[in-house]
Amino acid sequence: MEDKSEAITSRDHFDVVVSGASCAGLFAAEKLAKSGRKVVLFERKSSPQEPQRTWIVTDRFHSILGDSPSDVIVHETGVMRVNAGDSSASIILQPPDLIVERTALLRHLTSRAIEAGVEIRESSEVTDFSFEKDGVSLSIKDRSTDVSYKVGACDLILAGGTNCQITKSLSDVPQKVIPIVQAVVNLPEDYDPTVTEVWFERDSTTYFYWLIPDSPSTGVLGFVGESPSRARAEVHDFIRKKGFQPLSYQGAMIPLHQPLRRLEWRSSGSRVLLVGDAAAHVKVTTVGGVVSGLWGAEAAARSILRKTSYQRELMSLNMELYLHDFIRWSMDRFDQNMYEELVCMMSDSLKGFLGRRNRDSMAGGILELIARQPRVIPLGLRSIFMPYRGLDPSRPKEDSRIGKRVEEI
């Protein structure tokens, strides 16, 4: 491999380098360029490689990004039906959840970033960085030509998700990850495509299964698993049990938020900040990371522009994420009966509250939640005194024909 590691020219010196052209990286880059910073964004892939996928997000998406073109929001779901055993409760969401098409969103964010003045270099991987006395020096590998070269910057934002080697090597605390697998399915003819279903099935997941309609006739049915090697088989079993036919599978390892993980490194006025999945800005109750990733990216950009502490700018996001951490910690201790109790507690008053307070704005409403259904307190207290319950290790082994590891899906 050729290495053109000569001195960095002013052409290759930037105010900010961003690595990773997904939601968080593109949005942080746009915010910085709009404020007059010279920004370059490196993406190791070339753009046509992204498979199609939809994401479910709350209405908070609009308040962070503003209006999006019609090809980005492809569908809306206004009801969330929660099921445990024979109990179920329907929550009317006001406003409804939005179903976002990933490729269209990335295209939209890319054109916004370019319009703001960001230089985007595709097929270019950030392979290393070091703090120097006048900023950050980065090694870039152009994957289309195999040529490596250096650029310099005042600040660096790492937005490379969970698979970025640089992010992995930075932290002393390894990032916790769990598998998520979902299948695209056809909806039955009598299925209401505005209803998202959630099933708590404690024997096969400490999280839940979901069916999210992403058009009037199709949806994604999936779950968060524990074992990368059996997740696909388990979702396959559930899909069959519910009478669906999987059309195709999607899956990946998702980071879990870790409150004490370091997200910022400094030297002589230069900083390296993690955003998005790289920062594990993910709600651990639902493992949704799109809105929280955009929120954290906005905080990172603000922190660089104002030269303020990143942690301070992250305060409002962290309040939400800590609450989700606590709820997750408690629910990890639930047995199936406790899930059923929880669903039975969904009075009209509580459902009304949950429908208005979406899962990206829970922190300010926790007292109101307790006032509307005080029985959540004894349920939560019971969980505190219960040990963490993993899944039963004697569960049947996966079917080897479909038991692909999540990374291979």
Ligand X SMILES: Cc1cc2nc3c(=O)[nH]c(=O)nc-3n(C[C@H](O)[C@H](O)[C@H](O)COP(=O)(O)OP(=O)(O)OC[C@H]3O[C@@H](n4cnc5c(N)ncnc54)[C@H](O)[C@@H]3O)c2cc1C
Q: Which residue has the tokens 């964010």?
A: 109
Nearer residue to ligand X within complex by CB, 52 or 337: 52
Part of the chain binding ligand X (CB under 6 A), chosen from 40-48, 184-192, 324-332, 369-377: 40-48
Nearer residue to ligand X within complex by CB, 135 or 296: 296
What letters, b where the CB count within 10 A reaches 16 and e where it falls short, cover 335-349?
Answer: eeebbbbbbeebeee
In the complex, the smallest distance separating the C-beta of residue 86 from ligand X, rounded to whole angstroms, is 27
In the complex, the smallest distance separating the C-beta of residue 106 from ligand X, rounded to whole angstroms, is 8
Compute how many residues bind ligand X; rule: CB under 6 A.
Answer: 36
Q: Quote the longest CA-to-CA distance of the chain.
A: 68
In the complex, the smallest distance separating the C-beta of residue 295 from ligand X, rounded to whole angstroms, is 11
DSSP 364: G
In the complex, the smallest distance separating the C-beta of residue 20 from ligand X, rounded to whole angstroms, is 3
109: contact with ligand X by CB under 6 A: no
Strand partners, 185: 219
Site for ligand X in 352-391 (CB under 6 A): none
- At residue 76's C-alpha, the angle toward residues 71 and 81, to 5°, is 155
44: contact with ligand X by CB under 6 A: yes
Strands 54-57 and 195-200: unpaired
Q: Which of 135, 152, 213, 251 binds ligand X (CB under 6 A)?
A: 251
In the complex, the smallest distance separating the C-beta of residue 400 from ligand X, rounded to whole angstroms, is 22
252: contact with ligand X by CB under 6 A: yes
231: contact with ligand X by CB under 6 A: no
In the complex, the smallest distance separating the C-beta of residue 206 from ligand X, rounded to whole angstroms, is 18
Q: Which of 89, 126, 156, 300 binds ligand X (CB under 6 A)?
A: 126
In the complex, the smallest distance separating the C-beta of residue 250 from ligand X, rounded to whole angstroms, is 4
Q: Which of 30, 97, 125, 325 binds ligand X (CB under 6 A)?
A: 125
Three-class DSSP category at 180: strand
277: contact with ligand X by CB under 6 A: yes
Strands 147-158 and 3-4: parallel
Amino acid, res. 169: S
Q: Which of 160, 225, 228, 355 binds ligand X (CB under 6 A)?
A: 160
Residue 29, token pair as written in the block: 């880059």
98: contact with ligand X by CB under 6 A: no
Residue 153, token pair as written in the block: 């910057």
Nearer residue to ligand X within complex by CB, 42 or 339: 42
In the complex, the smallest distance separating the C-beta of residue 192 from ligand X, rounded to whole angstroms, is 19
Part of the chain binding ligand X (CB under 6 A), chosen from 16-24, 63-71, 90-98, 231-239: 16-24
406: contact with ligand X by CB under 6 A: no
- At residue 225's C-alpha, the angle toward residues 223 and 228, to 5°, is 125
In the complex, the smallest distance separating the C-beta of residue 374 from ligand X, rounded to whole angstroms, is 31
Q: Which of 14, 55, 238, 295 binds ligand X (CB under 6 A)?
A: 55
Residue 268, phi then psi, degrees to nearest 5:
40, 50
Q: Let me know: does 23 contact 109? Beta carbons within 8 Å.
A: yes
185: contact with ligand X by CB under 6 A: no
239: contact with ligand X by CB under 6 A: no
Q: Which of 28, 33, 37, 43 binds ligand X (CB under 6 A)?
A: 43
Closest C-alpha among 14, 26, 400 to residue 232: 400
Cα–Cα distance, 186 to 188 (Å, whole number): 6
Strands 13-19 and 39-42: parallel
In the complex, the smallest distance separating the C-beta of residue 367 from ligand X, rounded to whole angstroms, is 26
Closest C-alpha among 51, 329, 77, 24 to residue 194: 77
Q: Based on the number of CB atoms within 10 Å of its own CB, is 300 exposed (0-12), middle (13-18) or buried (19 or more)?
A: buried
Closest C-alpha among 339, 349, 341, 334 to residue 375: 341
Half-sphere exposure of 193 (CA within 13 A, CB side): 18
Q: Which residues bind ligand X (CB under 6 A)?
A: 19-25, 42-45, 55-57, 125-126, 159-161, 164, 166, 180, 182, 250-252, 254, 276-278, 282, 288-291, 293
